[in-house]
Structure 1
Amino acid sequence: MADSTSPPPQQQSPQTNPDNVKELKDMKKFERWRKSLQYMTGLGMSEVEQNQFRKDLDKELESYQCHQCEVWRDNLMKNSPSVRFMVEHLGMIGREIKRDDFLCAPCDITRSGGFSPEDGILLCQNRMNSKTHQEHTMVHEMVHLYDHQRFKVDWFNLRHHACSEVRAASLSGDCNWSREIQRGFYTFTKQHQTCVKRRAILSVMENPNCKSKEEAERAVASVFDSCFADTRPFDEIY
C-alpha cells in the first residue's frame, strides 16, 4: 500500500525569504549611508578604509557609466534617425555595423570618442554629457568609418585626416548651435564653419605625424572647402 503521508512543506532559506531579502537590502543601504557619512566627515574611518571606499565608489561609477553608455547605444541604434541612416549607408558600401562595433570604455578628458581601423569605434563612457551628446559622437565616428571604408583614408597623412575630421565635425551635429553655446562659443557669423575648423584642427593636432598647431591649421585649410562641401552619404548638413 502506498504511503499516504504528505511530504513536509518546503522551507525557504533565509536568503530567499522575501522578508529577509528586503531586510538585507535595507541593511546594505544603511551601511552604505553610514560609510558615506564617515567618508565625508573623516570621522570613524581610517585612511586605509577611506582609500578602499574611494576605490569602491570609482568602481561603482565606472560600472554605472558603462551600463548607461550601452543602454544609450542600443536605443540610438534602434531609434535615432541619424545613427540608423549611417548604419544603413555603411551597409550599402559593404560594412555591416552592429552593436559590438561600439565599445564603451573610460577615456581621458581630451576626447568623447574615437575610431580605429583595427579596433572599431570607441565611446567614452565617462565623457558623455547626455544621450544627444552620445548620438553626435556615434555619428561622428561612423563618418570616419564611412570614409575609411569608401575612400581608403591614410590616417597618417595629415590632409586625409583633416578631410575626414572636417566632414565628421560638420555632419555629426557636433557643431550645431546648442552644442557651441554649451562650450561657450557665441559666434554669430559662420558659426558652423568656425566650429568645424576649430574641432578639426584639435583632432589633427593629435595625429602622431603632426608637429605643431600651425601644421594642423595648414592641413585643415588646404582641404576645408572641398571636404566641407562633401556631405556624403547625407544629402545636406542636418
Structure 2
Amino acid sequence: MTVKNEEKRDESGNSQEAALNNEDLWGSDMYPERRGKKFQHSWFKILLGAQGRESIDKNRCEHNVYKCIKESPIIKLMMGALRSSGCEIDIRRHISCEVCNPIVTGGYDSEFNQIIICQNSAHSEDMIRGVLLHEMIHMFDYCRNKLDVKNIDHLACTEIRAANLGHCSFMGSLLQGDSSFTNIKATHQNCVKHKARLSVMAVHKVSKEVAEAAIERVFTKCYNDLEPIGRRIRRNSFDMPRAYAEGYLYGYDM
C-alpha cells in the first residue's frame, strides 16, 4: 500500500508538512510515560482508589498480552505475518504496558516501533486483543508499507485499515450513531470512517474537516486493502480462526 505524499497548505498558505515537523505527533498528554516522562500521581485519586495500583495493573496487562499472543488465532496470525514480512517482533521489546490518558486504550509509537497497551484503560483480555490487533496492523504498515505518521494521508490509510479489519460490527456502529436499520449497506464504511477520523484528529491535532478530507482521499484504496488478514473480522463469528487457518496460503510463518 502506497499513499501519494503531497504537501498540503492551510488557510494561511503555510505548509502543513512544515508545521508537523514541530508538532508533538505522539501526544505526551495521551502517553505520559513516553519519552522518559514519569506518570504524575494525584493524592486525591489515590485516596479514591483510582490510582496507586500501577504495579497490579501492569502485571495483569502483561499476563493478558502473553495469553493473547499464545492463544488468540488472530494475534498469532498477525505475529506470523509480521515475521514473514521481515518484521521481527519481540514481546519484551516491541510491546509495552503503560499508564495512559484514560480516553485511549493503546497506541503505536513508530519512532520506537513499539505497541503501547494502556494498562489503566484496557482491562480485559478481549480489550487487549482488540488493541493488539489494531496496533499490529499499524506496525505491519510501518514495516512493510513504509508508513509515515507525519503524512496525514498515510495516517488516514492505516487507521482506515485498522478499523476496517478489526472493528465496526453492526451493533457497535449502531450504538455509536454511525448507522441505522435503514442504511445497513453503508454501516461498516461509516463506522470505519468515524474511528479513523477520531484517530487522525487526535494524532495530528487537526479539525474534523481536515481529517475527513484525508480519509476521503484514500478511503477506497485503503478500505479494500485487507492484508494480512484477508477478511473483515465480524463479531461473534468464526472469522478469526478461519483467517488463522488460511495464513499459510499467503506464505505466513504460522
| TM-score after normalising by structure 1 | 0.71
Structure 1 distance, partners of 2:129, 2:145, is 24
Alignment match, 1:74: 66
Equivalent of 1:103 in 72, 96, 101: 96
Q: Secondary structure at the match of 1:59?
A: coil
Equivalent of 1:94 in 69, 83, 86: 86
- 8 Å contact from structure 1 (residues 156, 207) kept in 2: no
Q: Percent identity?
A: 34
Aligned AA for 1:126? N
Equivalent of 2:225 in 203, 207, 230: 230
Q: Secondary structure at the match of 1:159?
A: helix
Structure 1 residue ranges, 4+ long, deviating more than 6 angstroms after superposition = none
The aligned runs of 1:1-238 (5 Å cut-off) are 54=47, 58-60=51-53, 62-100=54-92, 101-119=94-112, 120-172=114-166, 174-177=167-170, 179-180=172-173, 183=176, 187-188=180-181, 189=184, 190-208=186-204, 210-238=205-233
Aligned AA for 1:143? I
Alignment match, 1:14: none
Note closer, same or farther for the CA distance 1:201–1:57 as it changes in structure 2 (3 Å cut). Answer: closer
- 8 Å contact from structure 2 (residues 201, 207) kept in 1: yes
- 8 Å contact from structure 2 (residues 46, 52) kept in 1: no
- Per the TM alignment, residue 69 of structure 1 is displaced from its structure 2 partner at its CA by 1.0
Structure 2 distance, partners of 1:69, 1:105, is 9
Structure showing greater Rg: 1
Q: Where does structure 2 lack aligned partners over 5 or more consecutive residues?
A: 1-42, 234-254
Aligned AA for 1:213? K
Q: Where does structure 1 lack aligned partners over 5 or more consecutive residues?
A: 1-49
- 8 Å contact from structure 2 (residues 105, 117) kept in 1: yes
| TM-score after normalising by structure 2 | 0.67
Count of aligned positions? 186
Alignment match, 2:31: none
- Per the TM alignment, residue 54 of structure 1 is displaced from its structure 2 partner at its CA by 1.6
Note closer, same or farther for the CA distance 1:56–1:110 as it changes in structure 2 (3 Å cut). Answer: closer
Note closer, same or farther for the CA distance 1:72–1:153 as it changes in structure 2 (3 Å cut). Answer: same
Alignment match, 2:20: none
- Per the TM alignment, residue 51 of structure 1 is displaced from its structure 2 partner at its CA by 5.7
- Per the TM alignment, residue 196 of structure 1 is displaced from its structure 2 partner at its CA by 0.6
Note closer, same or farther for the CA distance 1:57–1:156 as it changes in structure 2 (3 Å cut). Answer: closer
- 8 Å contact from structure 2 (residues 178, 190) kept in 1: no
Higher helix share: 1
- Per the TM alignment, residue 211 of structure 1 is displaced from its structure 2 partner at its CA by 3.3
